[in-house]
Chain A
Amino acid sequence: MEKYYQPEIECASREQIKAWQDERLVKQVRHVWENVPYYRKKMEEKGLTPDDIRSSDDLHKLPFITKADLREAYPYGLVAKPLKECVRIQSTSGTTGKRVVAFYTQHDIDLWEDCCARAIMAAGGTDEDVCQVSYGYGLFTGGPGLNGGSHKVGCLTIPTSSGNTERQIMFIQDLNATILCCTPSYAAYIGETMKEMGLTPDQIPLKAGIFGAEAWSEEMRQDIQNTLGIKAYDIYGLTELSGPGVSFECSAQTGMHVNEDHFIAEIIDPDTGEVLPEGSKGELVFTSITKEAFPLLRYRTRDICMLTREKCSCGRTHVKMCKPMGRSDDMLIIRGVNVFPSQIETVLLNHGYPANYQIIVDRVKSTDTLDVQVEMTPEMFTDNMGEIAKRQKELVDGLRSMLGLAAKVTLVAPKSIVRSEGKAVRVIDKRKI
């Protein structure tokens, strides 16, 4: 029996959803026009006023907003509410060290937590469940989002945050956790550790998992489901839009329902910006129609995706998106953290290394690894091993503070990184996703 958190919304008719979107978009456009000079200017440049947007059919007229806009407007340039009405920020890493900082009113947090609650109930969660949130808590949206959603559903919530796997397993066993929320790679790691401890799936109390913040394959889903003896559900989101819960999987496990009463999804041609018909593969664009503090109109996610409104067996009527199939930019998602090669290049140059480098990403025992290979230079070389090791460690520390992620630095022989004639091959992603 499918469970819903807000059945009247999640299973509303398409006409009803369109009516909500029409009304909310018109209101949202007026809200940003009146409160965000940055948006007003962008609209004026296209010769638009709020009167031009009469329904969601006019959405395509609006200009896009990109990560570059977020960077330019950092930190307050896109905030649409007085700061005294904002109660929270969340943040994610961005290019060249500038982070994306998103603002929330209490109302924004309520709606975000509703979205997460929908995801938990779609995974079978109820107030009878014990929900362990092993996403990071803090600036990262994973922990706070699922934590709030879990409270709304009424689950007994275990806020373990990420890390300390031994303790994670102790709580799962001792407190009979039935739902696990974390990144898929961490779920796989927990699963493998439990297997090594000799635990069989029937000895593990978990029944479902909600895993997101990074790409994972259908094979990985099967592995996690088998080792933990659970059903594993995907969840999608971006800090820019709120966090996890922009879309989530239902019992059908064939795509994620976008919470269309809060977000309008479009697929565009990443080169021309033209809106593509349903079922086309292209870049996913979202408009947040209910956010108060940090509303984004036509935000380009850079995720390559497809949408379908085919009837879903779960009864939900909201549009489904597939797992993102790639990126239209060079961003990597490593252990749930957004990494741009340009960030790594900045750190290398700051530490006196040449711009000849290669980034090798792999997945070893379900955990993403990041290896930055840099060429040794005559200036840096000395007969003193300790001196070289010290410089290497300084670089590792520099990368950690820029990326918020542990990376390995490998010094390689000069000219060993292949020079390409055209675009340099900076990234080798060996992960099979």
Chain B
Amino acid sequence: MSIKQISVFLENKPGSLYAMTGVLAQNKIDMRAFSLAETSDFGIARIIVDDVYKTTTVLKDAGFINNITTVLGVAIPDVPGGLSEVLRVLTDAQVNVEYMYAFLGGKDTEHAYMIFRVADNAAATAALAKQGIKVVEQEEIDKL
């Protein structure tokens, strides 16, 4: 169930993001989703990739601190109100969303894919399933 996100610690200074993407490029890693959170002195790059094990290994070898978090990939019908409906379901289930960002799509033009970092993955998945909203599995991300 669900997707593994890799978070990478970056200093907030010129070149540090480039250094990280350079490592990924050299190792031919394909990023499928990406978001950046930052303060004035550091940032966290959150990425979804095709090969989690390889990515964490090459990043670690290059000196980047990183860790893995389980997040939800949600297929949202690409119509007005699509995201709002997903959030309503999560709200009704009392699941707090810590952060979210968009997937880099996409072959599937009927859906927008988004990554949700929630407090309770199981509760969120169950609530979404009940409303027929699809949660993406790790193995599926290549196809998106």
Which residues of A are at the interface with B, using a C-beta cutoff of 8 A? Answer: 376-378, 381-385, 388-389, 410-416
Contacts and interface: CB of A to CB of B under 8 A. Distances in A.
B98 A384 contact: yes
A414 B66 CA distance: 11
A132 B78 CA distance: 69
A376 B42 contact: yes
B108 interface: no
Contacts, number: 48
Contacts of B129: none
A371 to B, nearest CB: 9
A383 B63 contact: no
A13 B89 CA distance: 92
B144 to A, nearest CB: 22
Interface of B: 5, 7, 9-11, 16, 37, 39, 41-42, 44, 46, 63-67, 69, 98, 117
A107 to B, nearest CB: 52
Given A382-B67, A383-B67, A412-B11, 11 more contacts: A378-B67, A383-B117, A388-B42, A389-B39, A411-B11, A413-B10, A413-B11, A413-B65, A414-B63, A414-B65, A415-B63
Nearest to B46: A383
A388 B42 CA distance: 10
A376 B44 contact: no
B44 A411 contact: no
B5 to A, nearest CB: 7
Contacts of A415: 63
B39 A382 contact: no
A385 B9 contact: no
A103 to B, nearest CB: 43
B39 A413 contact: no
Contacts of B37: 385
A376 B5 CA distance: 19
A29 B44 CA distance: 63
Contact of B65 (A377, A384, A410): A377
A385 B44 contact: yes
A382 B7 contact: yes
Contact of B41 (A381, A385, A411, A416): A411
Contact of B5 (A378, A383, A385, A416): A383
Contacts of A382: 7, 67, 69
A41 to B, nearest CB: 50
